Amino acid sequence: MSPSVSVIVPAFGVTPYIAAALDSVLAQTYGDYELIVVNDGCPDSRALETVLRPYLDRIVYVKQENGGVSSARNAGMRVARAALIAFLDGDDTWTPDYLAVQTEFLRTHPQTDIVYSDGVVFGDGPLAGRQMSDLSPSHGEVNFESLVSCRCSVTTSVLARKAAILAVGGFDESLRRAEDFDLWVRAAHAGVKIAYHERVIYRYRQRSSGLSADAVAMREAAAAALEKLGRTLSLSADERAALTKAQQEFRADILYFRMMHALRAKDAPAALSALRQLLRLRWTLKYALLAIGLRCVPQLALRVADRRARS
């Protein structure tokens, strides 16, 4: 008999952490699942397979050339036997009731195709102990406009009906970052029902080497995904306006983080260049005063900015 849930765990650069991820799946109170691990061309495959050896009788192991996380998840879905798909990154973990809570939600909300939950950050970053809902909140209905504007942010903790994901083409394998953001927006635009709840049932590992660690790169990837969506989706006037506004906000965020990086590096010309562009998109008195300081008394402005950043 086919299981009710197929759990898909992509593996690339997660060898030190994947045992904890798999143990958290195997500790679930809900037992009707299969566990699929996709080795996405890991450069340390020998070490990964050494870690996986004790689990081989309890997992489906797929090995492929490196294609990125989108390719790995799609590969997992191709071999998945269940109608429900749960995605778990190889460095994150679940609480023991994760699958029980998520499957019950879809059972009692049959109109919902994708559900995500709250989680808590752990690891070596400064956000450890914070809840995901504090960092990436969701307010109101999950739809095209709320997703592109980031009023709703689908977390990595997702259980989905496989048919709904396949109906919109799965993950875009040309995207190495923001691939999940792209999928949820496409799904919402196609009428797929996405919902969330506030139970804290997973742990999100923050680490300096993770794909999400580079704030500028992540926002550039999201902006590129929005540009692609604008080309490929048939949008209404309201949807087009929401997407255009979101693109402007992402560009402003990118410039802000570039400016902050330059300030921390005490590079006044680079900070001023980014700040001038930022002011055209997001004018504030604080930014305007900082621009005047960087132009007229750069060393003083750098000291003040550094002192405020540390306070």
Mean pLDDT, to the nearest integer, of 166-184?
93
Longest CA–CA separation in the chain, Å: 73
Indicate if 276 and 143 belong to the same structural domain. Answer: no
Inter-helix orientation angle 268-281/237-264, to 10°: 160
Indicate if 126 and 264 belong to the same structural domain. Answer: no
* 30 part of a folded domain: yes
Question: What pLDDT was estimated at residue 212?
Answer: 45
Chain segment 8-39, per-residue pLDDT in tens: 999 999 999 999 999 999 999 999 999 999 99
Residue 143 is classified by DSSP as: S
Indicate if 200 and 246 belong to the same structural domain. Answer: no
Indicate if 150 and 295 belong to the same structural domain. Answer: no
DSSP assignments along 118-142, one per residue: EEEEEESSTTTT-BHHHHS---S-B
Q: How far apart are CA 204 and CA 194, in angstroms?
A: 20
Domain final residue, candidates 160, 182, 213: 213
Domain span at 70? 5-213
In this prediction the pTM is 0.85
* Percent of the chain topping pLDDT 90: 66
DSSP assignments along 167-209, one per residue: HTTSS-TT-SSSHHHHHHHHHHHTT--EEEEEEEEEEEEE-TT
Domain final residue, candidates 179, 213, 247: 213
Q: How confident is the model at residue 284 (pLDDT cuts 50, 70, 90)?
A: confident
Q: Is 252 helix (H, G, I), strand (E, B) or coil?
A: helix
Indicate if 150 and 257 belong to the same structural domain. Answer: no
* 219 part of a folded domain: no
Chain segment 125-160, per-residue pLDDT in tens: 778 889 998 988 899 999 999 999 989 999 888 999
Chain segment 191-200, per-residue pLDDT in tens: 999 999 999 9
Indicate if 137 and 208 belong to the same structural domain. Answer: yes
Instruction: Lowest mean pLDDT of 76-85, 167-176, 210-219, 284-293, name the range.
Output: 210-219
Chain segment 88-129, per-residue pLDDT in tens: 999 999 999 999 999 999 999 999 999 999 999 998 877 888
Phi, psi of 231 (to 5 degrees): -80, -35
Indicate if 174 and 41 belong to the same structural domain. Answer: yes
* 218 part of a folded domain: no
Residue that wins the pLDDT comparison between 3 and 254? 3
* 226 part of a folded domain: no
Total domain count, the chain: 2
Residue that wins the pLDDT comparison between 56 and 268? 56
